[in-house]
Amino acid sequence: MSDLIKNPRLLRIYIIPLAAMITGSMVGAISILYALELGADIFQVNLITTIRTTMGIVLLVPFGILSDRFGRRPMVLISRLLVVLVTLARAFATEPSHLIIASFLGGFAGGGFFPVVLSMIGDVTRPKERQGAISAMWFFSSVGMLLGPIICSSVLLLPQISLRTVYQIAVVAEMAVFVYLATQIRETRPRDSDNFRFGDYRLYISELMHQPSFQNLMGTGLLYFFSRAIIATYIPIYARIDLGLSNAEVASFSVYRNLAVMLIRFSSATFLARIRIATFLFSAVVLGGMTGLMSAFANDYVSLTLVIFLSGLSYGAVRILTSVLVADNSTAKNRGAANSIFQLAMGTGSITNIVTSPVVDASGYAPIFILGGVIGLIATVPIWRSRAHLQGD
C-alpha cells in the first residue's frame, strides 16, 4: 500500500474520499437524530433516507455513462457542488419537510461519487495493482468515516454546540473540499474513449449484464444492503427513543462502526493473500446477517456498540471485495457503467427498507432486526452460486 500512496496521481484521487467522508460521516452520525429533533416520525425518517437513495440510484447509470463519455472529473465536481448546496439547505431546515426536499436534491449528488472514483482508479492502474489500489482507496475512505463521527461526537459534548451547528460546520468543510477538487484533480479517462459510439457502448453494457458472476454480485448487493439498511436506520431510533441514550452516545455508534471499517480495510490485503476472494466475501456477508439477528437481543449501549462494530467489519469487507470484483469484470470502456449498475443494486436494496415502517409501528424493532438478519444470510446464496467465477485467480 505504501508504494501506491507514494504515487502522486493516486494520492490525489485518495484525498477525494478521505475529505468527502470526513464531512459526510460527520453529519451522517446525527442525520436521524436531527430529523427526530425537527419532529419527524419513523415513516418520515425512512422517507428522508429513501428519497435520497432513490434519486441517487436513478442517476447512477447516467452518471457512469457520462463519466465514460465526457470524463470522470466533471462528474465528481458536479456531485460535490450539489453536496455543498444540499448541506447548506439542511443546516437551515426547520421542519421534516425541509429535510425531505433536501434529500430529493441530495440524490442528484449521491449517484455519481464513489462509482466515478472507483472508475478513476481503474483507469490509472494495471490489473495486477488494481486490488491494492482499490483497497487503499477504501482505507482512505474509512479513515474519513472514522474522523467525521469523532469530530461530531466531540463537539456535541460542548454545551454551546447543537445538531444544527454541526451541519453549519460541515457546510464550510464541504466548500473547502470542492475548492480542492477544482484545483487539484485531473482527468483520468483513457483518450481512446473519445471515439465514443452509443451503439458500441450498449454492446459493452449488454456483455457485462450477461456475465453470470456480475449478475450474482448484483443479487448479493441488493439483499445485503437491504439487511444493512435495517440496522443503520433502526438502531439509532431504538437507542434514542426506547433506550433514552444521549445524542453524543448515539453519534458515537458511527465512531465504532467506522473504526471497524477502517481496521478490516487496512488488513484486507493480508486476508486476500491467504483466503480466496469468494470465501472472504461469503464470510463477510454471513457476519452481516448475524449482526441483524444479534440486534434483536441488544438492549443497552454496550451490546448495541458490539453489533455496530461487527456490522462495520462486515460492511468494510463487502465494499472492498465487491469493488475489486466489479473492476475485474469490466473494462475501461464500460467501467463507469459497471460501478454504477452495481451501486444501483445496492441502492435498490437500501430503499426497500421503507416497506418495513408499518411492521415497526405494529410489532416493534425485534421482528425487523430478525428479518434483516435472515435476508442478510440469504445474500450468501448468489455468492455460492458463482463461487467458481469469483475466486480472483
Looking up cell 435498490 gives: 348
Q: Please indicate, yes or no, if residue 357 is contained in any of the structural domains.
A: yes
Which domain CATH number covers 277?
Answer: 1.20.1250.20
Q: Please indicate, yes or no, if residue 74 is contained in any of the structural domains.
A: yes
C-alpha grid cell, residue 78: 458536479
The confidence band for 325, taking pLDDT boundaries of 50, 70 and 90, is: confident
In the predicted model, what is the mean pLDDT of residues 309-326?
87
pLDDT at 199: 56
Contact status, residue 290 vs residue 153, Cβ threshold 8 Å: no
Q: Please indicate, yes or no, if residue 198 is contained in any of the structural domains.
A: no
How many degrees, rounded to 5, is the angle at CA 70 between CA 349 and CA 117?
Answer: 45
Of the two residues 140 and 275, the one the predictor is more confident about is 140
CA-to-CA distance for 87 and 178, rounded, in angstroms?
A: 13
The confidence band for 111, taking pLDDT boundaries of 50, 70 and 90, is: low
Q: How far is CA 38 from the centre of its chain?
A: 25
Of the two residues 211 and 280, the one the predictor is more confident about is 280
Q: Please indicate, yes or no, if residue 192 is contained in any of the structural domains.
A: no
Chain segment 81-97, per-residue pLDDT in tens: 888 998 999 999 999 99
Residue 160: pLDDT above 70?
yes
Q: Please indicate, yes or no, if residue 138 is contained in any of the structural domains.
A: yes
Indicate the number of domains in the chain. Answer: 1
CA-to-CA distance for 136 and 234, rounded, in angstroms?
A: 31
Q: Please indicate, yes or no, if residue 305 is contained in any of the structural domains.
A: yes
The confidence band for 392, taking pLDDT boundaries of 50, 70 and 90, is: very low
CA-to-CA distance for 64 and 81, rounded, in angstroms?
A: 17
Q: Please indicate, yes or no, if residue 376 is contained in any of the structural domains.
A: yes
CA-to-CA distance for 201 and 196, rounded, in angstroms?
A: 7
Q: Please indicate, yes or no, if residue 280 is contained in any of the structural domains.
A: yes
Indicate the range of 247-256, 349-358, 384-393 predicted with least confidence.
384-393
Residue 110: pLDDT above 90?
no
- Report field, pTM of the whole predicted structure over 0.85: no
| Other CB atoms within 10 A of residue 203 CB | 13
Query: Of the segments 2-16, 144-158, 264-278, 315-329, which one has the largest average pLDDT value?
Result: 144-158
Chain segment 172-227, per-residue pLDDT in tens: 999 998 998 888 888 877 665 555 555 555 666 677 777 777 888 888 989 999 99
C-alpha neighbours within 13 Å on the C-beta side of residue 66: 15
The confidence band for 289, taking pLDDT boundaries of 50, 70 and 90, is: very high
CA-to-CA distance for 224 and 349, rounded, in angstroms?
A: 7
Q: Which domain holds residue 100?
A: 2-186+203-386
Residue 328: pLDDT above 70?
yes
pLDDT at 1: 52
Report the largest interatomic distance among the alpha carbons of the chain, rounded to a whole angstrom: 60
